Structure 1
Amino acid sequence: MNCTTNVVQVTNVSPSTTSEQMRMLFGFLGTIEELKLFPPDESPLPVTSRVCFVKFQDSESVGVSQHLTNTVFVDRALIVVPFAEEGKSRAPSLMAESGPLPANRGL
């Protein structure tokens, strides 16, 4: 896939990490336009892991930020990958194109 993106997806984020901590960490790598942490800081639900999306002002910061993969932040090794925003909306249609799953006849 040859698409340029300004967004990275960060997974394996510690449940105790806040959006402000993520903003500080990734802010050293480029200007952040938007940062979303899921579940959000104020979530009443118990959290076992978080996912963070960071949108940079320029796509060069995406390449640089991938170097943070396997960096331990708080208590977990982060996984940082480019995220194509248009891919998110295409996922349901890809599943529909694959057709129904075969039945499990041997069980």
Structure 2
Amino acid sequence: MVSGSTRVIQVTNIAPQATKDQMQTLFGYLGKIDDIRLYPTIRDVSCPVQSRICYVKYYDSATVNVAQHMTNTVFIDRALIVIPMQSGEIPD
């Protein structure tokens, strides 16, 4: 696991029909969220997508270690993959 240097996680293998509110609720149980972004956004979806990606920034870096335990949690119809972001920032 990564030391307490980052506050951002990357969540991949998200079902295309998942919403930002659903991700906020799911990962909000672990700790207070500073920022959350789900890509591609609804307006970006001009062609069908197979999966989406989400970045969650927590207020407390200790929450990142807890969030990694959400890996392999089945959400909708996919097993989520959670990894810490070394940069500590959400990409655009």
Which secondary structure state, in structure 2, belongs to the residue aligned with residue 42 of structure 1? helix
Query: Do the aligned residues in 1 keep the contact of 2:35 with 2:57 (CA within 8 Å)?
Result: yes
RMSD after superposition: 2.2
* 1:39 counterpart residue number: 40
Q: TM-score of the superposition, structure 2-length normalised? A: 0.86
Query: Do the aligned residues in 2 keep the contact of 1:3 with 1:84 (CA within 8 Å)?
Result: no
Query: Do the aligned residues in 1 keep the contact of 2:11 with 2:55 (CA within 8 Å)?
Result: yes
Bigger radius of gyration: 1
Q: TM-score of the superposition, structure 1-length normalised? A: 0.75
Question: In 2, Cα distance between the equivalents of 1:34 and 1:68?
Answer: 18
Question: In 2, Cα distance between the equivalents of 1:15 and 1:23?
Answer: 16
Asked which structure has the greater RCO (Cα within 8 Å, sep 6+), the reply is 2
How much identity, in percent, do the aligned residues show? Answer: 48
Query: Do the aligned residues in 1 keep the contact of 2:12 with 2:54 (CA within 8 Å)?
Result: yes
Unmatched 5+ stretches in structure 2? none
Structure 1 pair 44–87 and aligned structure 2 pair: CA distance change class (3 A): closer
In the alignment, is residue 17 of structure 1 matched against residue 18 of structure 2? yes
2:56 partner letter: V
Which runs of structure 2 are paired with 1:1-107 in the superposition (5 Å)? 4-45=5-46, 46-85=48-87
Deviation at 1:48, TM superposition (A): 1.1
Number of aligned residues? 89
Unmatched 5+ stretches in structure 1? 90-107
Q: Which has the higher strand share?
A: 2
